[in-house]
Amino acid sequence: MKNLFYIFSALLLLSACGDNTKKQTPTRKTITKQQVAVPEFNSDSAYMFIEKQVAFGPRVPNTIEHANCAQFIYDKLKDYSDTALIQNFKTRAYNNEVLNGKNIIGSFNPENGNRILLCAHWDTRPYADYDLDPDNHQKPIDGANDGGSGVGVLLEIARQINLSKPGIGVDIIFFDVEDYGPPQELQMYGSNFWGLGSQYWSQNLHDPDYVARYGILLDMVGATDATFLMEGHSMLYAAGILKKVWTIGNRLGYTQYFLFDSAGYIDDDHKYVNEITKIPTIDIIHLESESSGSSFFEHWHTLGDTMDKIDKETLKAVGQTLLTVIYEEK
Q: Which residues pair with 161 in a beta bridge?
A: none
Letter string b/e over residues 116-130, b meaning 16 or more CB atoms within 10 A of that residue's CB: bbbbbbbbbbbbbbb
Asked whether residue 6 is assigned to any structural domain, the reply reads: no
User: Phi and psi dihedrals of 322, rounded to 5?
Assistant: -65, -40
Distance from CA of residue 152 to its chain's centroid?
10
**How far is residue 118 from each of residues 51, 225, 261, measured CA to CA in Å?**
21, 23, 23
User: Phi and psi dihedrals of 260, rounded to 5?
Assistant: -85, 55
Asked whether residue 311 is assigned to any structural domain, the reply reads: yes
pTM of the model: 0.89
Amino acid at 260: F
User: Phi and psi dihedrals of 96, rounded to 5?
Assistant: 75, 5
Q: What angle do CA 209, 211, 215 make, to 5 degrees?
A: 145
pLDDT at 291 over 50: no
Q: Which residues contact 176 (CB under 8 A, 6 or more apart)?
A: 61, 70, 101, 102, 103, 104, 121, 122, 123, 196, 197
Check: CB of residue 268 under 8 Å from CB of residue 1.
yes
What would the mean pLDDT of 24-36 be, rounded to a whole number?
42
Going by C-alpha positions, the residue among 327, 330, 253, 329 that lies closest to residue 40 is 327
Asked whether residue 239 is assigned to any structural domain, the reply reads: yes
- Residue 294 banded pLDDT, cuts 50, 70, 90: low
Asked whether residue 1 is assigned to any structural domain, the reply reads: no
Q: Please tell me which residue, 295 or 48, carries the higher pLDDT value.
A: 48
Asked whether residue 5 is assigned to any structural domain, the reply reads: no
Q: Which residues pair with 264 in a beta bridge?
A: 7
pLDDT at 119 over 80: yes
pLDDT digits (tens, 9 = 90+) for 232-251: 999 999 999 999 999 999 99
Asked whether residue 23 is assigned to any structural domain, the reply reads: no
pLDDT digits (tens, 9 = 90+) for 315-328: 999 999 999 999 99
- Write the CATH number for 133: 3.40.630.10
Structure confidence at residue 295 (pLDDT): 86
**Three-state SS for 101?**
strand
Going by C-alpha positions, the residue among 218, 216, 174 that lies closest to residue 197 is 174
Q: Which residues pair with 192 in a beta bridge?
A: none
Q: How many domains does the chain have?
A: 1
Asked whether residue 309 is assigned to any structural domain, the reply reads: yes
Structural domain boundaries, residue 50: 36-328
What would the mean pLDDT of 263-269 be, rounded to a whole number?
95
pLDDT digits (tens, 9 = 90+) for 131-184: 999 999 999 999 999 999 999 999 999 999 999 999 999 999 999 999 999 999
In angstroms, the CA 279 to CA 275 distance is 8
Structure confidence at residue 104 (pLDDT): 99
pLDDT digits (tens, 9 = 90+) for 64-114: 999 999 999 999 999 999 999 999 999 999 999 999 999 999 999 999 999
Structure confidence at residue 289 (pLDDT): 77
Q: 68: how many CB neighbours lie within 10 A of its CB? A: 13
Asked whether residue 12 is assigned to any structural domain, the reply reads: no
What would the mean pLDDT of 9-21 be, rounded to a whole number?
38
Structure confidence at residue 36 (pLDDT): 77
Structure confidence at residue 290 (pLDDT): 61
Q: Which residues contact 273 (CB under 8 A, 6 or more apart)?
A: 117, 119, 198, 202, 215, 217, 279, 281
